[in-house]
Amino acid sequence: MMDGDGEPKPWQWDERTWRAKVDKVRAGRSLLPKQWKNGARCAVALSFDSDHETGELRYGGKSHGKLSQGQYGARSGIGRILKLLDRYAVPASFFQPAVSAMLHPQEVKSVVAAGHEIALHSWIHEFNSTLGYEPERDLNLRAADVLEKIAGRRPVGVRTASWDFSPHTLAIIREMGLLYDSSLMADDDPYELLEDGKPTGVVELPVEWIRDDAIYFNMDRLASLRPYTAPEAVFDIFRRELDVAYEEGGLYVLTMHPHVIGHRSRIWIVEEIIRHAKAMPGIWFATHADIAAYCAQECGLKR
Amino acid sequence: MMDGDGEPKPWQWDERTWRAKVDKVRAGRSLLPKQWKNGARCAVALSFDSDHETGELRYGGKSHGKLSQGQYGARSGIGRILKLLDRYAVPASFFQPAVSAMLHPQEVKSVVAAGHEIALHSWIHEFNSTLGYEPERDLNLRAADVLEKIAGRRPVGVRTASWDFSPHTLAIIREMGLLYDSSLMADDDPYELLEDGKPTGVVELPVEWIRDDAIYFNMDRLASLRPYTAPEAVFDIFRRELDVAYEEGGLYVLTMHPHVIGHRSRIWIVEEIIRHAKAMPGIWFATHADIAAYCAQECGLKR
Amino acid sequence: MMDGDGEPKPWQWDERTWRAKVDKVRAGRSLLPKQWKNGARCAVALSFDSDHETGELRYGGKSHGKLSQGQYGARSGIGRILKLLDRYAVPASFFQPAVSAMLHPQEVKSVVAAGHEIALHSWIHEFNSTLGYEPERDLNLRAADVLEKIAGRRPVGVRTASWDFSPHTLAIIREMGLLYDSSLMADDDPYELLEDGKPTGVVELPVEWIRDDAIYFNMDRLASLRPYTAPEAVFDIFRRELDVAYEEGGLYVLTMHPHVIGHRSRIWIVEEIIRHAKAMPGIWFATHADIAAYCAQECGLKR
Amino acid sequence: MMDGDGEPKPWQWDERTWRAKVDKVRAGRSLLPKQWKNGARCAVALSFDSDHETGELRYGGKSHGKLSQGQYGARSGIGRILKLLDRYAVPASFFQPAVSAMLHPQEVKSVVAAGHEIALHSWIHEFNSTLGYEPERDLNLRAADVLEKIAGRRPVGVRTASWDFSPHTLAIIREMGLLYDSSLMADDDPYELLEDGKPTGVVELPVEWIRDDAIYFNMDRLASLRPYTAPEAVFDIFRRELDVAYEEGGLYVLTMHPHVIGHRSRIWIVEEIIRHAKAMPGIWFATHADIAAYCAQECGLKR
């Protein structure tokens, strides 16, 4: 039952093999509370991955054009975003690679000063699954130190860069005592992560490419990626996700990037989503940290 | 008439060669009945390929993110779909890989209990054309056993995974005595499959990528695939296909996936298609099995 | 001025080199007549490339799914197209590979009987630029023989498969005494082809991917191609091209494929384009052959 | 801290390494003037990259189809553009590779005669980052000589081909004494370029793929690029960028290509953008050269 290279093919695996793969990291019980804070009907968690120059640095940092595209996030995008969040008094979570935070410490301080959350998002936007346990652990610990030093508080949650959740990520999250992860996609609503079938006490606030600005707008000359989707269509998708989250009494997590959504032709999407949410009674706008803590408490999560 | 590697190029083939390739598996006589059951004008066959985690397992199952995306189908998508079908009292067909059924046996039982069809869809979403006759036959027989055991009845039809119809698939279908296949695209309406020019007694209920949710919405970070098409545009395409099927008195087959269409921003497409169909007099909603059996009977198919 | 492999790079070429490349095959004088036939203001040349199964055969013909997709063109697409052209009494040109004509001789006869043009479109949809002079010449001569035998008249024009115009194509066109080519893109309106800077007496009826259905609707699972563009958007593009052709008094060439545009959700685009054109006074619907002959005559082309 | 090939990976770099990469070429102080010329509120800089045949020549010039697509820019596109700019009395900047200028000297003279700017855009659309310092310098100097000879004045600004800004580009710009570059993306508004952290006196008029016609409309059969975006959506994006530039009192740079935007179904986008801008009080339409000079003067740039 093996082929030339000695590895059984997936259709040759025994049941134990594929069950182990599925069970390694998996969604467990729902952590959707009966109602949201203060009786709210729906929780809205806006998030911004402040990658800036690290999006290019992780590939070697040779393209001055791509580095300038990244700098745009810090120079133009963040300002528009913070102004908008302030105007509507909406808290949000900013996931920032350590190198990005070191390049833009004043930005980090402004984000915190405005009442938002700063959370872990790798060292230099590296892909976890290429690293091995030791380097991934080391980079995450150092990144937490950097964010704590600049932001003045230690991060309590993580979003893996490119949502690249390695076989070691969950162990490292537990070791670091983090409250939540926001990188996986098994549900719309919060759930507890299982490791090899066992509860971990870690809250997952699930993401989805559907609710990510970059996939519609990315441009990579060498990879055939183009921003083909009309901004109106992106808004329509984000709005529909929100409307059904509201109907279901669920969680709405939106992932955006200052160098993507911060552009003049796109920032209106965030504003219209906020206005749309504000027009519905019973929306709780909160950071990922506050939502995860609330879910953990309401659902009696053992940590 | 040969090039360096000893293989004649297509423009060097003699007529016998290209005719044999075309005739190997081909559309034969139409099996479109004069009218549909109870005098209906148009038959609507909704189908869902419940791949769940197998979409990633077939590639090795290394990405926890993709496995979670697949689990979404079972955890969130199926529930929304079954609720919708129940609300409108519409039967549908669910094509499910055996491994997916073993991971989610309760789902299979719920689908059957609600009056829907469970049909063959590979072992672990493997590509047939990479297998050879023996493994493809073995995997299909074992998959039929698994579905029969969990669902309580043996499947009568098949949809190949990724519509990858191998040179051996038709022989295996005949050997298994299946009533129908739903993987090929030579017509909109049902037809009899020919093998090497001879009738087989197998009903084809043709599919098309046009009427498949995944091609518009798929996201593969490494393959430059993005969900660029607006949901409104996908609905428009699906609706237009239905309108002309109705005009022509034909068959309307829609292929969807719980982990794709089951999302909050997309499930409305199924609902609106159902409502649109319900608003036209003379629609017969039926499973693939019922439609294939009706066509076979009305057109006097010899099996 | 050479690099490692002995070939000068484009930025190292002398002027003679790049001028020779540009001049090899090039647009010469305009063949846009002062007015169109019977004083018409705009000429509309609808064309259909009836590739059918050859789209897959040219790559080896191994995929039964893709062969069935091609057969759809002959089995379902052509019927809808001929019915539509008949209803509006619009002539069109059908470019058909010889192998496709041999697979569907009745289709060719029906097309001719309805007053449409059959023209050259390769042997089996091979790429000319991979062939060399002798095989390209041989395949074109044999294809002309096949079309003449089935259609009852010898083709007077050619469209290269995939618009792959090789360094030998123009010489072969002249040798065969063809009236026109329809594969190049240097203008919207007809022009005379130059070879190495000299007039050839060959009419070019230019195409463009913009006015080709396949690029918006193609689906190739392995090539990251998806039918991302909404049919409404494709119609909008085709209509805008027509409107300005009308304003300018020019030529409007549309390239379509029975297995692409012949689908239930797309055939309306052709109908609406025809209706839109019919609503404007002074449209001359004609075959490519008739338009090329008219341009050659009005502009005193020496052949 | 090194891997097999002896090169430290980005996540292994020390701080000095990644800071040096980021600082090599970077956005410095803003050069946005307090108000635009004559008290205008917003500056609109339309630009056209007149690549024509060089888009294919740079890859070797083997495809006659692609060369004809390029020729379209010179033969059909430029005429529509100049007519439009003339009708609305709007100046613009034309960035033209030297080889393109030599192929179309009359076009260059017409552009200059109509009051527009001709600026540097490589020799033959070569990628700078593949060249090395000497060849890049040589090609730029020769290109400036060619443009000066044909246009009658020496260019004062540059846009790198494909916005491929090499590690040597900034040094060459300074050596040539150019006033501005328009290839980088760190802001929407003008800024001074820094080299290794030090001011250079060079004005950057930033571009973005978002405001480039080609990315939405490009077609490359081999690269999975297709013109998937609807023209209406492209207009919507361009208009939104303009509206917010106006709100912010900023700069609006649009990059277009005669062989892309010059088509019948797309040229209306330029017209509608101009009309939209003209309908807002206080728009200064100007060439890149005039805008760069104004910014340099108003902000006291030391050159």
pLDDT at B170 over 90: yes
Residue D19 counted as domain residue: no
Mean pLDDT of C6-24: 96
Kindly report, residue by residue over B28-52, the tens digit of the pLDDT.
999 999 999 999 999 999 999 999 9
Instruction: Please give the Cα distance from C65 to D124 (Å, whole number).
Output: 44
Nearest CA in chain A to B225: A225
Per-window interface: A 234-273 vs D, CB < 8 A: 263-268
Is A210 in CB contact (< 8 Å) with chain B? yes
- A vs B, Cβ pairs < 8 A, gives 124
Residue D6 — very low, low, confident or very high, per pLDDT cuts 50/70/90?
confident
pLDDT at D1 over 50: no
Kindly report, residue by residue over C3-14, the tens digit of the pLDDT.
456 789 999 999
Q: What is the pLDDT of residue A4?
A: 57
Sequence-ordered alpha helix ranges (H) in B51-132 = 54-57, 64-72, 78-88, 98-103, 105-113
Nearest CA in chain C to D143: C11
Nearest CA in chain A to D184: A65
**Interface touch D18/A65, C-beta < 8 Å:** no
Q: What is the pLDDT of residue A280?
A: 97
Per-window interface: D 137-156 vs C, CB < 8 A: 139
ipTM field: 0.96
**Interface touch A25/B126, C-beta < 8 Å:** no
Asked if residues D53 and D103 have their Cβ atoms less than 8 Å apart, the reply is: yes
**Interface touch D10/A231, C-beta < 8 Å:** no
Of residues A206, A218, A241, nearest to B265 (C-beta): A241
Residue B27 counted as domain residue: no
Is B67 in CB contact (< 8 Å) with chain A? yes
Instruction: Please give the Cα distance from A10 to A128 (Å, whole number).
Output: 24
Of residues B166, B186, B240, nearest to C231 (C-beta): B240
Q: What is the DSSP letter of A8?
A: P
Q: What pLDDT tens digit does each residue of chain A (303 aa) get?
A: 445 567 899 999 999 999 999 999 999 999 999 999 999 999 999 999 999 999 999 999 999 999 999 999 999 999 999 999 999 999 999 999 999 999 999 999 999 999 999 999 999 999 999 999 999 999 999 999 999 999 999 999 999 999 999 999 999 999 999 999 999 999 999 999 999 999 999 999 999 999 999 999 999 988 889 999 999 999 999 999 999 999 999 999 999 999 999 999 999 999 999 999 999 999 999 999 999 999 999 999 988
Per-window interface: D 18-47 vs A, CB < 8 A: 18-19, 21-22, 24-27
**Interface touch C237/D230, C-beta < 8 Å:** yes
Kindly report, residue by residue over C242-299, the tens digit of the pLDDT.
999 999 999 999 999 999 999 999 999 999 999 999 999 999 999 999 999 999 999 9
Q: Is the pTM of this model over 0.95?
A: yes
Q: What is the pLDDT of residue C2?
A: 45
Residue B74 counted as domain residue: yes
> DSSP string spanning D135-197?
HHHHHHHHHHHHHHHHHSS---EE--GGG---TTHHHHHHHTT-SEE----S-SS-EEEEETT
Q: What is the DSSP letter of B163?
A: G
Is C88 in CB contact (< 8 Å) with chain B? no
Kindly report, residue by residue over D63-75, the tens digit of the pLDDT.
999 999 999 999 9
Rounded to the nearest angstrom, the minimum Cα separation between C279 and chain D is: 19
Instruction: Please give the Cα distance from D22 to D24 (Å, whole number).
Output: 6
**Interface touch B65/A18, C-beta < 8 Å:** no
Asked if residues A220 and A6 have their Cβ atoms less than 8 Å apart, the reply is: no
Rounded to the nearest angstrom, the minimum Cα separation between D185 and chain A is: 5
Q: What are phi and psi of D145, to 5 degrees?
A: -60, -45
Residue C9 in tokens: 């790079």
Asked if residues D236 and D216 have their Cβ atoms less than 8 Å apart, the reply is: no
Q: What are phi and psi of A31, to 5 degrees?
A: -115, 25
Residue B11 counted as domain residue: no
β C180-181/C157-158 pair status: parallel
Beta carbons within 10 angstroms of residue D153's beta carbon = 11
Q: What is the DSSP letter of A76?
A: I
User: Residue B139: its chain A contacts at CB < 8 A?
Assistant: 11
**Interface touch A215/B231, C-beta < 8 Å:** no
**Interface touch C210/D131, C-beta < 8 Å:** no
Q: What are phi and psi of B63, to 5 degrees?
A: -90, 115
Q: Which domain range does residue D160 map to? A: 28-298
User: Residue A226: its chain D contacts at CB < 8 A?
Assistant: 215-216, 218, 225, 228-229
Of residues B27, B185, B228, nearest to C65 (C-beta): B185
Residue D54 — very low, low, confident or very high, per pLDDT cuts 50/70/90?
very high
Beta carbons within 10 angstroms of residue B220's beta carbon = 11
Instruction: Please give the Cα distance from C288 to C117 (Å, whole number).
Output: 8
User: Residue B162: its chain C contacts at CB < 8 A?
Assistant: 221
Rounded to the nearest angstrom, the minimum Cα separation between C225 and chain D is: 6
Q: Which distant-in-sequence residues (6+ apart) come within 8 Å of D215 by Cβ?
A: A219, A226, A227, D209
Kindly report, residue by residue over D133-152, the tens digit of the pLDDT.
999 999 999 999 999 999 99
Amino acid identity of D100?
S
Q: What is the pLDDT of residue B2?
A: 46
Asked if residues B36 and B286 have their Cβ atoms less than 8 Å apart, the reply is: no
Asked if residues C286 and C45 have their Cβ atoms less than 8 Å apart, the reply is: yes
3-state secondary structure of D4: coil
Nearest CA in chain D to A72: D186
Shortest CA distance to C225 belongs to which of B240, D18, D86, D224? D224
Asked if residues C206 and C253 have their Cβ atoms less than 8 Å apart, the reply is: yes
Residue A22 counted as domain residue: no
3-state secondary structure of B157: strand
Q: What is the pLDDT of residue B4?
A: 57
**Interface touch D71/C26, C-beta < 8 Å:** yes
Residue B292 counted as domain residue: yes
Q: How many domains does chain D have?
A: 1
Instruction: Please give the Cα distance from B37 to C104 (Å, whole number).
Output: 34
Residue C202 — very low, low, confident or very high, per pLDDT cuts 50/70/90?
very high
Residue D92 in tokens: 């613009």
> DSSP string spanning A118-162?
EEE--SSS--GGGT-HHHHHHHHHHHHHHHHHHHSS---EE--GG
User: Residue D185: its chain A contacts at CB < 8 A?
Assistant: 65, 68-69, 72
Asked if residues D175 and D144 have their Cβ atoms less than 8 Å apart, the reply is: no
Q: What is the pLDDT of residue C120?
A: 98
User: Residue A136: its chain B contacts at CB < 8 A?
Assistant: none
Rounded to the nearest angstrom, the minimum Cα separation between C150 and chain D is: 30
pLDDT at B59 over 90: yes
**Interface touch D64/C24, C-beta < 8 Å:** yes
Instruction: Please give the Cα distance from A171 to A157 (Å, whole number).
Output: 14
Nearest CA in chain C to D232: C233
Residue D5 — very low, low, confident or very high, per pLDDT cuts 50/70/90?
low
Of residues D162, D187, D238, nearest to A72 (C-beta): D187
Looking up residue A282, the CATH number of its domain turns out to be 3.20.20.370
Rounded to the nearest angstrom, the minimum Cα separation between D127 and chain C is: 10
Rounded to the nearest angstrom, the minimum Cα separation between C193 and chain D is: 11
Q: What is the pLDDT of residue B235?
A: 98
First-residue to last-residue Cα distance in chain A: 43
β A191-195/A25-30 pair status: antiparallel
- C117-to-C103, C206, C243, C262 alpha-carbon distances in Å: 18, 17, 25, 18
Residue C230 in tokens: 């909404």
Is B294 in CB contact (< 8 Å) with chain A? no
Q: Which chains touch D (3 or more CB pairs under 8 A)?
A: A, C
Asked if residues C245 and C252 have their Cβ atoms less than 8 Å apart, the reply is: yes
**Interface touch B10/C232, C-beta < 8 Å:** no
Residue A46 counted as domain residue: yes
Instruction: Please give the Cα distance from C96 to C55 (Å, whole number).
Output: 11
Q: What is the pLDDT of residue A222?
A: 84
Beta carbons within 10 angstroms of residue D175's beta carbon = 12
Kindly report, residue by residue over B249-287, the tens digit of the pLDDT.
999 999 999 999 999 999 999 999 999 999 999 999 999
**Interface touch B224/A223, C-beta < 8 Å:** yes
> DSSP string spanning D97-152?
-HHHHHH-HHHHHHHHHTT-EEEE--SSS--GGGT-HHHHHHHHHHHHHHHHHHHS
Is B72 in CB contact (< 8 Å) with chain A? yes
> DSSP string spanning chain C?
---TTSPPPGGG--HHHHHHHHHSEEEEEE---SS-GGG-SEEEEEEEE--TTHHHHTTTS--HHHHHHHHHIIIIIHHHHHHHHHHHT---EEEE-HHHHHH-HHHHHHHHHTT-EEEE--SSS--GGGT-HHHHHHHHHHHHHHHHHHHSS---EE--GGG---TTHHHHHHHTT-SEE----S-SS-EEEEETTEEEEEEE----GGGBHHHHH--BTTTTB---S-HHHHHHHHHHHHHHHHHHT-EEEEEE-HHHHTSTTTHHHHHHHHHHHHTSSSEEE--HHHHHHHHHHHTT---
Q: What is the pLDDT of residue C54?
A: 98
Residue C229 counted as domain residue: yes
3-state secondary structure of A165: coil
User: Residue C171: its chain D contacts at CB < 8 A?
Assistant: none
Q: Which chains touch A (3 or more CB pairs under 8 A)?
A: B, D
Asked if residues C228 and B216 have their Cβ atoms less than 8 Å apart, the reply is: yes
**Interface touch B65/A224, C-beta < 8 Å:** no
Higher pLDDT, B224 or A111: A111
User: Residue D102: its chain C contacts at CB < 8 A?
Assistant: 15
Kindly report, residue by residue over D228-250, the tens digit of the pLDDT.
999 999 999 999 999 999 999 99
Amino acid identity of D133?
Y
pLDDT at D219 over 60: yes
User: Residue D230: its chain C contacts at CB < 8 A?
Assistant: 229-230, 233, 236-237
